Structures are given as C-alpha cells and as structure tokens.
Amino acid sequence: MNRPTGTDEGGTGDGRLPRRGQGQLESQVLTVLRSAGGPATAGWVQEHLDGDLAYTTVITILSRLYAKKAVTRSRQGRSYAWTPASDEAGLAALRMRRVLDGERDREAVLARFVSALSPGDEARLRSLLSRAADDPGDPAAPEGR
C-alpha cells in the first residue's frame, strides 16, 4: 500500500499521514477483527486494515487489547489467532468498568453518572437493574453485585 504524499486528504504536507491515537488504532483493529467471523492472525488483521501499519504495530495493538481483556488469543503454530472477547456493547461496558475500578469513591462516581443520565436512559437503567434483581442469571445483570 502506498502512503499519500503532499497534502492529500489530511496529510502533514511532508508526505506523512497524521498520527492516530492509540484508542483509534485499537478501535480499528477491533472492527477488522470482528469482520473476520472467527479467529484471525495478526497478518490477516494487518492486510485488512486501512493504511500502512507495520506488522509489529498490529502485534503491539493486539497485545494491548489482550492485556485489557478486549480480545482472546489461541496458539496457532508459532503465533496466535486473535478473537474479540465481546461485542461492541460488551467492550464499552468493560471500558466503563475499568474507569469505575480506577476510582477511590465508587459511590460518588456512580451518583454523578446516574445524575447526568437523560430521563430515558435513567428509566432504562432502572429497568435493567430491576430485571437483574429478578433474574440474577440474566446476561444484562451487573457483575459483582
């Protein structure tokens, strides 16, 4: 794949593409991995990404996602085959949980979160909590209650 030169579509003017943030790369890798329909190698992910990422960069991103429990991996010869650990909603929930786990005053964080919800989202949350209390085996039930 060729990199754009000059100032084409967001270029820096010196032939380089603008830097993407780590979260943006992780999101792109997860999107490509979800499209695989099953376990995929880092080489497959690299081939299906837009842009010109080095194989080592793809490995680094997949390793970071693995450390965050956003992907799983299984041995395939001398390398790994990677699979998303969850769908988009599950990954968003994992990110929210990590933020909450990083705070000392969980009650204050939860109180601020709930007070900032729209009336419709607050009603959805109340419904989900009620359903979780009625059926602890429900996959929508919050963990660690």
User: How confident is the model at residue 38, as a pLDDT?
Assistant: 93
**Residue 84: C-alpha distances to residues 31, 64, 129 (Å):** 9, 13, 26
Tell which wins on pLDDT, 7 or 89. 89
pLDDT for residue 21: 62
Q: What is the pTM of this model?
A: 0.61
Torsion 62-66-71-75 (CA) sign: positive
Mean pLDDT across 103-121: 93
pLDDT value at residue 8: 41
- Per-residue pLDDT tens over the stretch 28-46: 899 999 999 899 999 999 9
- The yes-or-no verdict on residue 15 having pLDDT over 60 is no
Note the pLDDT tens digit of each residue in 69-94: 899 999 999 999 999 998 888 888 88
Q: How does residue 52 score in pLDDT terms, banded at 50, 70 and 90?
A: confident
Beta bridge partners of 76: 79
The percentage of residues in the chain with a pLDDT greater than 70, rounded to a whole number, is 79
Mean pLDDT of the chain: 82
Whether residue 10 has pLDDT greater than 50 = no
